[in-house]
Amino acid sequence: MPKLRLFTPGPTMVPDEILLEMARPIEHHRTQTYRDWLKEATENLQYLFQTKGTCLTITGSGTAAAEGAIVSIVPPGKKALVCHGGKFAERWRDVCKRFKIEHVEYEYEYGRGADPARVAEILKKEANIAAVITVHSETSTCAVSDVAAIAKHTRAHDCLLMTDCITSVGCLPFKMDEWGIDIAITGSQKALMLPPGLGFVAVNDRAWKVIDSFDAPIFYNNLKAFRKSLADWDAPWTPANTLVRALRMALSMIKKEGLENIWARTARLAKATRSAAQAMGLTVFAKDPADSVTGINTPAGVDNDKWRKEMKSKFGVQLADGQGQLAGKMVRISHMGWVDDLDTLGAIGAMEMTLRSQGHKCEVGAGTTAFLKGLGG
């Protein structure tokens, strides 16, 4: 078996020192040791989200964090505006449906970002919208939305903006306070160099005001319970303390590299990957491509499943399929977290070799050469 190289847009590769940190003996969570970990991690989460707001760490994947946020920001008698152009934003619409949260939908084209002007129009037309729900980087279509521009409109209309930042925080520029975003969520297994299992919710005072105005129909991921415990650097229920221990280490690595440097690295990898795709005779799916993950259309005549299987069995390179209606039609390669130039060069090499054996015409070295040039080499 070749060495596994995980290029899926979550989970992503985890550095050895973080894996080893998690292999250490279990600590109890009602201890000063745990409080110190959570305090340190929480302060660094504020750096990660670029906020002075409250950063809650909950047990569960990103969906748990999003569910906790969505049910908490739309009081009875008010509505949500869900902007969707991909599977993840559609999930947040489905959360509204399941919790019987009144909502209006703004559906935009797959591969595009949400149009801020359209959001403004809807806000003007519809009364009683308490919160706009958006996805910053829509991982299913690999497209990015201008959430800073959307925030200008939500501010002007006195409603909240929630952004799903699961594949943006820690890889794409994101400035919660400066941009005026009220509640943002992310998860551990995408850009943060951690295994799955933690969700994060960053909340500002505007959002707390709404959250405190009613009792949301949720128990386990109740944001108020997490805020109350956090006052003592504690958690309301038994936390995944092994992951919190690792989080502390991951965030300090992120801080050491510096967010600006991470954003630049991610953007470089994405740009070079897009030019490699073009050089291999392939096209990128998104018209507004995100830099955190690149979605490449599977060329005519190539079986997506066979192509991905060959990359994995021959080279250990694991890419993700498309999701939903895009299944079988594209491959997605992540640029998030613990991944560098040579890792990605290897993945492009594997793509190029297997494309050829799957019958697609491309020169050996076409993609890898374009990738290296794209890096600025």
Chain residues in the site for ligand PLP (CB under 6 A)? 10, 61-63, 88, 135, 139, 164, 166-167, 187, 190
Residue 142 Cβ, how far from ligand PLP at the closest point, in Å? Answer: 10
How does strand 129-135 pair with strand 79-84?
parallel
- Nearest approach, Cβ of residue 44 and ligand PLP (Å): 20
Q: Which is nearer to ligand PLP, 41 or 135 (CB)?
A: 135
CB of 62 to ligand PLP, least distance (A): 3
Helices H / strands E in the chain, number of each = 14, 14
The C-alpha angle with vertex 163 and arms to 158 and 167, in degrees rounded to 5, equals 165
Q: Which is nearer to ligand PLP, 44 or 167 (CB)?
A: 167
In the complex, what is the shortest distance from the CB of residue 199 to ligand PLP, in angstroms, rounded to a whole number? 7
Cα gap 153→150, rounded to integer Å = 5
Please state, in angstroms and rounded to a whole number, the distance separating the CA atoms of residues 156 and 184.
19
The C-alpha angle with vertex 372 and arms to 370 and 376, in degrees rounded to 5, equals 105
Beta bridge partners of 321: 331
Report the Cα 69 to chain-centroid distance in Å: 15
Alpha-carbon distance of 358 to 265, in angstroms, equals 31
- Pick the closer one to ligand PLP by CB: 94 or 257: 94
Strands (E), the chain: 5-6, 54-59, 79-84, 103-107, 129-135, 137-138, 143-144, 160-164, 183-187, 198-203, 293-297, 317-318, 320-321, 330-334
Shortest separation between residue 306's beta carbon and ligand PLP, angstroms: 25
- Maximum C-alpha span of the chain: 62
Shortest Å distance, C-beta 232 to ligand PLP = 27
For residues 166 and 279, which CB has a smaller minimum distance to ligand PLP in the complex?
Answer: 166
Q: Which is nearer to ligand PLP, 203 or 370 (CB)?
A: 203
Between 195 and 374, name the residue whose CB sits nearer to ligand PLP: 195
Report the alpha-carbon distance of residue 223 to residue 204 in Å, rounded.
12
**What is the phi/psi pair of residue 305, to 5°?**
-65, -45
Cα-Cα-Cα-Cα dihedral sign, residues 192, 195, 196, 198: negative
User: DSSP code of 173?
Assistant: -
Nearer to ligand PLP, 111 or 374 (CB): 111
Query: How far apart are the C-alpha atoms of 204 and 47, rounded to whole Å?
Result: 14
Beta bridge partners of 6: 318
Closer CB to ligand PLP, 164 or 352, in the complex: 164
Q: CB nearer to ligand PLP: give 147 or 350.
A: 147
Shortest gap between Cβ of 10 and ligand PLP (angstroms)?
5
